[in-house]
Structure 1
Amino acid sequence: MSRGWAVGDPSRTVADVSVHSSDSQQEAGLKTIRTTIPARLDRLPWSRFHWLVIIGLGTVWILDGLEVTIVGAIASRLTEPDSGLGLTTSQVGLAAAIYVAGACTGSLVFGYLTDRFGRKKLFIVTLGLYLLATVLTAFSFAPWMFFLFRFFTGAGIGGEYAAINSAIDELIPARRRGVVDLAINGSYWLGTAFGAVLTVFLLNTAVFPADVGWRIAFGLGAVLGLVILLVRRNVPESPRWMFIHGHDDAAEKEVGEIEHDIEEQQGSALEAVPDDAAIEIRQRKSTGFGEIIRVGVTLYPKRSILGLSLFIGQAFLYNAVFFTFSLVLTKLLHVPSDVAPWALVPIAIGNFLGPFLLGRLFDSIGRRFMITLSYIGSGVLLVGTGILFDTGALDAFWLTACWMVVFFFASAGASAAYLTVSEIFPMETRAMAIAFFYAVGTAAGGIVGPILFGNLIGGGVHAVVLGYYLGAGLMIAGGLVELFLGVDAENRSLEDIAAPLSAGTPAQSVRK
């Protein structure tokens, strides 16, 4: 095996980065460079560095699942006069909508800032915002305070999606990008299961007073977030972002240190990267909104349709079940209200196991086949569940079991939706693309969905089943869009899937 780059190798600057600068570029501190950094990152063997990325960045989804579950579980407690807030039922719904609005706003604002100022700055800022807002939520003594802090908690979590997904994809080798992305996004459901169990204990008034237990729930989320922040401080900036934005020397140093550490761990040199793996980049400081819109509308219109289809489909499917599952169990199947939340645990397990067990197939069999299978499969299974439920063939146990199977496939597809939009757009607009599609999907599921399904609930079982059919139909439609417009991104460099806008010789062949 030939030797790769090591820290302090004096030949790297000559062999790996050649500079062609105009006078105006030099004045601005920007250059046109040739670099093999993407190829060097993609050829790295799995190492402690990659585990650091997963632990420091990926575990935040557990926080998101914990947040959403806690609020859903404590909703009834917050309406009690002795809770310290005494919200009305409509105010609980308003708080949920405000959280969603914060998530959508945060994803768009921080998504743009992530592309402009870097991944690391923003994944520190967004987690810091979440920590501050969730702690203040625990100390809310009036409804307006609860609403305000829920908005900023949502903004922090929404911003995380853009900053984290873009950073992870740019640091994880291409051959493992699918399985890692799906497992990380699926970890949301670990937080959901943990939150469901946690709130059953914290809401027990025999253990904690009514105005204390729900506050502790938010405080524990902040403690977990603080631990993640301490680990995250050691995660580096994306070298891909750095060399495009004029920090090529820092990018070289960072990648060299990663390579050196891996060589020491494995006791042998890394394989050298050939010169023909280099790409030419015209460095830039930022990308304007006009260019961001142009990329989605004119450069990659089919990919934009694909992203919208995948996100809207999964948002409505999840909303169809999760907005109605408590009502279905308690009102229609007569499950005691203190028992119904436990149904969320097996459903969450199914949601986690789907992307965890199927994730590697997205790298081996391929994105197009597996996303199509996940979307259409979950849609068909939900249709079957709806038919059986409508005819009275399912009791609470078997209905929950059916939901668990449906979400085993749906969760893999939903996680792959995040993977898809983070892969198929250029480096300069990646975070903003994730933010946009996340905002659209979240708005559809968290704003439009509750209004629509809220009107269906009053109609009983048959009306609820119609909601299932709608969610299933949109998933099947998303699967068909993937079948015809999907991008075969497995085992390919991000720069090959979508050439950087700054590339000296853009790859026209990958544009759709």
Structure 2
Amino acid sequence: MRDTPGPAGGERFETDVPARLDRLPWSGFHWRVVIALGITWVLDGLEVTLVGSLAGAIHQSPSLALTESQIGLTASAYLIGAVIGALGFGWLADRIGRRRLFFVTLVVYMLASIATGFAWNFWSFALFRALTGAGIGGEYAAVNSAIQELIPARYRGTTDLCVNGTFWGGAAIGAVVALVVLDPALVDPEIGWRAAFVVGGALSLVVLLLRRHLPESPRWLMLHGQPEEASRIVCGIEREVVETKGWLPPPTYGAVVLHRRGAASIAEVWRAMFDSHRDRAVLGLVLMSCQAFCYNAVFFTYALVLTRFYGIPPHEIGWFMLPFALGNLMGPLLLGRFFDTIGRRPMITGTYALAGILMAATGGAFAAGWLSAWEQTLAWTVIFFFASAAASAAYLTVGESFPLEMRAMAIALFYAIGTAAGGVVGPALFGWLIEGGQRLDIFWGYLIAATLMLIAAATEWRLGFAAEGKPLEQVSTPLSAGR
């Protein structure tokens, strides 16, 4: 690293931190990053699946007795909390660092999840769900940005999709847990659904311990006037990798020139998103909002459809959730590497389009009454095999689209806008449609979701960009880049 006099905006310096991070072979350090940060998605999947699986039990709970519409509204409360949490914590993550936010957001999530198990009425349940969502929203911003900044460029797409996809590993665990806690022969259902939230939140303590051993993102330090500290952390990572992998390959590109500066201002963020990167802003907004509507509309009301239209008892919902969750998990795991080899644009376009077409076809079959409960579950499993990869790629796209100084805020903003536009409306709308009890009405909801996924596919094909294998600094030039 070399410092030279710079313009009024700050001292200019050169740093090879990005090149050194991107040349690293996959190692134990990268596994620790994936496990300690990505495990949040497992816990989130566990939490959200429990709500879906437990919807019938919560509806029948003598202490809560929520209606279908109220269950839909509590799902929307969770997503509203996630929107607020993403914006607030995302703003902080770009200013005080990724590592500090790892702990704050996880503690918020843990305490709120435990509190959900002690809810006494609709309003307390909705409040605790909103606070749980706030913690998860903050996690999406801080964790996604850190993973993208720490993982070598050639593995970034695969890793990001797989990490986001592990949400469904948690969902599968949640489905199995629901089978136990909702079995009246084993646990009183009134105690079972409450215990599930308490235990799920308490598991976050393990994650807190794992994160103690992760460093701050060197790229964040580099861009916030601390290139010396960034280089010191990279040296430590390199020493660890050399001990297990041998000598490191040479960097494939040179140093970058930056200016020392503080965090990006709101005005700079606005100009970057809606002036110099307008097409990418439109793309991110469409991808995030369309997948959010499709996912949240179907997933948060999954159990209600099975109980209302197929007569599945609440304590058996987990058997139907399990294959659905596994299909969602396998999508990113099996398709993720193709986003780094075939490329972002064709893969994102294809997964969104396939999900939309299959959603429309399945909606028609549901309306006609052609499907049994297991056939309906199989159809949803196939649809969301592709939709899961598409949704994970939306987070990847938003993170790669904008300069490093505003990465967490960009992820947070588009997550918030997309969730508010597609995710909050979806569960409430479908809860209302299901309460009406008419299959044809629900079909129109599925058709809206299908149309939105096809619109997202067309938008990606028109505005998508190649980021596979490229350094983050090349995909989007930092605001502090030297001229």
| Match among 103, 118, 121 for residue 82 of structure 2 | 103
Higher relative contact order (CA 8 A, sep 6+): 2
Q: 1:449, 1:147 → 2: CA distance?
A: 17
Q: Say if 1:124 and 1:229, in contact at 8 Å, map to a contact too.
A: yes
Residue 458 of structure 2: aligned partner: 480
What is the CA distance between 1:79 and its match in structure 2? 4.8
What displacement does 1:323 show?
4.6
Partner of 2:405: 428
Contact 2:50 2:175 in 1 (8 A): yes
Contact kept in structure 2, 1:100 and 1:442, CA below 8 Å: yes
Give, in angstroms, the shift of residue 224 of structure 1. Answer: 2.2
Q: Distance in 1 between matches of 2:132 and 2:365?
A: 39
Q: Deviations over 1:84-106 (max 9, x none)?
A: x5556655444333222111100
* Ranges in structure 1 where 5+ consecutive residues have no aligned partner: 1-16, 506-512
**One-letter amino acid of the counterpart of residue 52, structure 2:** G
User: Counterpart of 1:97 in structure 2: which amino acid?
Assistant: S
The answer to whether residue 37 in structure 2 is matched with residue 60 in structure 1 is no
Letter of the 1:20 counterpart: T
| Matched letter for residue 483 of structure 1 | W
Deviation at 1:356, TM superposition (A): 0.5
For 1:40-79, list aligned pairs within 5 A: 40-79=20-59
1:17-36 deviations in whole A, cap 9, x for unaligned?
110136978xxxx6321011
1:361 matched residue in structure 2: 338
* 2:467 alignment partner in structure 1: 489
The 3 A distance-change label for structure 1 pair 216 and 327 is closer
Corresponding position of 1:467: 445
For residues 50-99 of structure 1, the C-alpha deviation after alignment (integer angstroms, 9 at most, x for no partner) is: 0000011011001111111222333443455654x555665544433322
Distance in 2 between residues matched to 1:279 and 1:229, nearest whole Å: 34
Q: C-alpha distance in 2, partners of 1:137/1:243? A: 40
Aligned-residue offset at 1:236: 0.9
Instruction: Please tell me whether the aligned partners of residues 324 and 464 of structure 1 are also in contact (alpha carbons under 8 angstroms).
Output: no
What is the distance in 2 between the residues matched to 1:321 and 1:143?
22
Q: Deviations over 1:300-347 (max 9, x none)?
A: 000011001111221222244335543433333344444344211111
- TM normalised by structure 2 equals 0.94
How big is the shift at 1:454?
A: 3.9
Q: Find out whether 1:503 has 2:471 as its counterpart.
A: no
The CA distance in 1 between the partners of 2:115 and 2:316, in whole Å, is 30
Alignment gaps of 5+ in structure 2: none
In structure 2, the residue matched to 1:279 is: 256
Q: Percent identity?
A: 50
CA contact (8 A) 1:111 1:163 kept: yes
For the residue of structure 2 that corresponds to 1:59, the secondary structure is: helix
Contact 2:78 2:129 in 1 (8 A): yes
TM-score (norm 1): 0.89
- Choose which of 264, 279, 298 in structure 1 pairs with 2:243: 264
* Conserved? CA contact 1:82–1:210, under 8 Å: no
In structure 2, the CA distance between the partners of 1:77 and 1:388, relative to structure 1 (3 Å rule), is closer
User: How far apart are the structure 2 equivalents of 1:422 and 1:208?
Assistant: 43
Q: Letter of the 2:393 partner, please give it.
A: A
- SS of equivalent to 1:212: helix
SS in 2 for 1:339: helix
**Partner residue in 1 for 2:156:** 177
Q: Secondary structure at the match of 1:219?
A: helix
The CA deviation string for residues 341-384 of structure 1, in whole angstroms up to 9 with x for no partner, is 42111111111111100000000000001000100111112222
Match of 2:173 in 1: 194
Cα distance in 1 for residues equivalent to 2:70 and 2:447? 29
Question: What code does the residue aligned with 1:291 have?
Answer: E
Query: Rg bigger for which structure?
Result: 1
Helix, strand or coil at the partner of 1:33: strand
Of residues 322, 325, 334, the one that matches 1:345 is 322
Matched, 1:38 2:18: yes
C-alpha change, 1:351 and 1:89, in structure 2 (3 Å) is: closer
**Is 1:412–2:389 an aligned residue pair?**
yes
Q: CA deviation at 1:295?
A: 0.9
User: Are the counterparts in 1 of residues 183 and 315 from structure 2 also a CA contact under 8 Å?
Assistant: no
Say whether residues 1:135 and 2:114 are aligned partners. Answer: yes
**1:168-317, aligned counterparts within 5 Å?**
168-266=147-245, 268-273=246-251, 277-317=254-294
The separation in 2 between residues aligned to 1:256 and 1:78, in whole angstroms, is 52
1:31–1:246 contact (8 Å) kept in structure 2: no
Match of 1:164 among 133, 143, 154: 143
1:196-254: CA deviation from partner (whole Å, max 9, x where unpaired):
22022113344334443223212221232111111111111110000111111111110
